[in-house]
Chains A and B, each alone.
Chain A
């Protein structure tokens, strides 16, 4: 294990993965400090989602280190194990449990024991109820708590998913395109919410929307063809000729 990993919340070093000869991620290295919020941008096929897949255990890298909290090797764990460590993920396409009510969606995500027997005999406690109410308040779905998630609008589903993410009380959040399909007002509010979260937790945001990234005002990493092309504040990165070339075509 590298010493560089010490003190970081997420540490990727020389990570590579290929699918049938196609190198989706190519010697990708990335370090995230505790409490840091990072925006990841990059054109389609840059490997953003695959990177998320590797961190959350959906895809095994062919080579390289993926360390959480400076010491836990994520490549040996499954998705559930990684989630239990405190890594939460929000998908590009909002995925909520459509045939559950909004409240049940939150309850399922709520930090609690995840074992089969524990859930079989689980009984919602007072403190859990309070926490659910709080979260519903935060994501502004209190009045829709008994509605099936399927009936929510697209933006509401995004919010519900963020609420579920918060319910997990993760230490590291991976958020894939949170502003997709939202109105401008919703987008701005989402940015505020994420900044609020980033005060206590580490966040990685993948986003296409430059305004949104600017709103976040954090360090940006540009991915291209599976590796890091540039890293730094948005203004600096967007002035980088390599980045301009990748974005505007050659």
Chain B
């Protein structure tokens, strides 16, 4: 506690050292008079002088008081004027504390050091605190209030009271009121005051607030009761934040699932092809990202922040190209035989994995985060990392673009025509084999895009795809085959459900529960959440 208080004081002092625009300043002469009063008499007189200095509100005061606290001020015996005294050999080099002007070098015997005791030190801290609390910059005032909040220094209460009265910025005022409450709680003020303070803290509803009142939970009387009530209130608020955080994590996991599954929703849902090598398309996308970053690192490091943007088309074309190759060479011979397709594409996945392992090695490859993907910020009690935020946004963009392509473009129209009635589409002059290849290429290309995103949050290794293939199938099957919106709902539901189960069941058990749930769900609704009905669906 003591340590904290020292730190807080130090922090306050540091704030004052920052070069700030002088908002309140008084004439040098007046200030000099006030400063000289510091050395005029005993400790009590000095304390009064400190208060007077603080009341002046001049920006220079904090620095001077700081020096006083450190024992760097001296009085010249001759005229009781106060200077900053630096030892120079056996003499003292004097500097005017107000103007900073050089006042010459004098023998040691001609000056007295200004002594401070603990009482004075406190007075100095309070004065400095008051000064920063009244600083012109709201950021400084906020920081000062937060520092008091942490230190819970009762001495700061009067300063806060004054500052609260004068404060105009709502956010800063709230912080000050909370800080005052925290200080009141730590002080020896009457219980009724403290109980009020507890209520003020309860309104904060943060984890820190909970920590502030926790030590008083055992107390009898109004304080204890107030703390109990406040704890309940804060916990309720925190539970809401926790839920919010879980939803956020869930949406983030959901968008990863969506990215991985959406390509599958096309190949499986729209074309009816079981592509077990889908995960490997994701893996190829991630390795494409790695390749692009390597090129940039070696040739144009200044472009590193753009590496992911450059990797997107590369990954799309790589995975899409490999997809078209697979479709043309293998899958097209197996249309109408989904189980055979499943086995053949599994074979392809083994080959691709081993090929990547042979070329790049079996170890994880380092894919860097560009600066805009790193770091995090908080909303209330929620932590938001930039990488997750971007991935959610990216998933949304990919999803909407895909819907757009299917709904609005000629290619999308032809794709839907082939899906609905192949012979009819063919009779109308649509080159169905061409459309098949393109559709499969599109699905694979999107898997490649997913790989770019996954390279940011997962290990880039030849096994990358393995981890996602079963989850992706679960998402598509759960959402309902042949329905992209179903895939979206499926991904988000599974993502959020997973994160809500995790705290209770642990990550692994949560996942197992979810798998079991989906297995049971498919029994209930074999065609998924948003299934098509009717005669045409029956196999």
The residues of A with any CB-CB pair to B shorter than 8 Å are: 19-20, 22, 24, 49-50, 53, 58-59
Contacts and interface: CB of A to CB of B under 8 A. Distances in A.
Nearest to B536: A19
A136 B489 CA distance: 55
Contacts of B534: 19-20, 22, 24
Nearest to A50: B535
Contacts of B535: 19, 24, 49-50, 53, 59
B533 interface: yes
B483 to A, nearest CB: 12
Contacts of A22: 534
Contacts of A59: 535
A61 B356 CA distance: 54
Interface in B330-387: none
A19 B538 CA distance: 12
Nearest to B537: A19
Given A19-B534, A19-B535, A20-B534, 5 more contacts: A19-B533, A24-B534, A24-B535, A50-B535, A53-B535
Contacts of A19: 533-535
B535 to A, nearest CB: 6
Contacts of B532: 20
13 contacts: A19-B533, A19-B534, A19-B535, A20-B532, A20-B533, A20-B534, A24-B534, A24-B535, A49-B535, A50-B535, A53-B535, A58-B538, A59-B535
A179 B194 CA distance: 95
Nearest to A19: B534
A223 to B, nearest CB: 15
Contacts of A50: 535
A78 B534 CA distance: 18
Interface string B495-539: 000000000000000000000000000000000000011110010
Nearest to A20: B533
A55 to B, nearest CB: 15
A182 B532 CA distance: 35
Contacts of A53: 535
A19 B531 CA distance: 11
Nearest to B531: A20
A19 B534 CA distance: 5
Contacts of A58: 538
Ranked nearest first, the 10 interchain pairs of A and B with the lowest CB-CB distance are: A19-B534, A19-B533, A20-B533, A20-B534, A50-B535, A19-B535, A20-B532, A22-B534, A49-B535, A24-B535
A22 B535 CA distance: 11
A24 to B, nearest CB: 7
A59 B534 CA distance: 9
Nearest to A53: B535
A113 to B, nearest CB: 28
Nearest to B534: A19
A22 B536 CA distance: 12
A58 B534 CA distance: 11
A53 B536 CA distance: 13
A20 B535 CA distance: 11
A50 B536 CA distance: 11
A135 to B, nearest CB: 30
A225 to B, nearest CB: 15
A50 B538 CA distance: 12
Nearest to B532: A20
A70 B534 CA distance: 29
Interface in B80-137: none
B371 to A, nearest CB: 50
A56 B391 CA distance: 51
Nearest to A59: B535
A58 B532 CA distance: 16
A49 B535 CA distance: 9
A53 B534 CA distance: 11
A236 B533 CA distance: 37
B538 to A, nearest CB: 8
A104 B532 CA distance: 37
A22 B532 CA distance: 12
Contacts of B533: 19-20
Output the residue of B532, B533, B535, B538 with the most chain A CB within 10 A.
B535
Contacts of A49: 535
A20 B531 CA distance: 10
B87 to A, nearest CB: 93
A53 B533 CA distance: 14
A188 B535 CA distance: 31
A31 to B, nearest CB: 25
B518 to A, nearest CB: 24
Contacts of A20: 532-534
A38 to B, nearest CB: 22
A50 to B, nearest CB: 6
A24 B535 CA distance: 9
A50 B533 CA distance: 13
A59 B535 CA distance: 9
B515 to A, nearest CB: 29
B424 to A, nearest CB: 15
B277 to A, nearest CB: 30
A200 to B, nearest CB: 32
A53 B538 CA distance: 11
Contacts of B538: 58
A41 B335 CA distance: 35
A20 B532 CA distance: 8
A45 B533 CA distance: 16
Of listed B532, B533, B534, B538, residue having the most chain A CB within 10 A: B534
A163 to B, nearest CB: 26
A79 to B, nearest CB: 12
A20 to B, nearest CB: 5
A200 B166 CA distance: 105
B525 to A, nearest CB: 15
Interface string B36-52: 00000000000000000
A28 to B, nearest CB: 16
A59 B537 CA distance: 12
Nearest to A49: B535
A50 B534 CA distance: 10
A93 to B, nearest CB: 13
A59 B538 CA distance: 10
A148 B264 CA distance: 39
A191 B535 CA distance: 29
A159 to B, nearest CB: 26
A150 B534 CA distance: 29
A82 B94 CA distance: 112
A58 B538 CA distance: 10
A89 to B, nearest CB: 15
A56 to B, nearest CB: 13
A49 B532 CA distance: 19
A20 B536 CA distance: 12
A50 B532 CA distance: 17
Nearest to B538: A58
A58 B537 CA distance: 13
B383 to A, nearest CB: 44
Contacts of A24: 534-535
A91 to B, nearest CB: 12
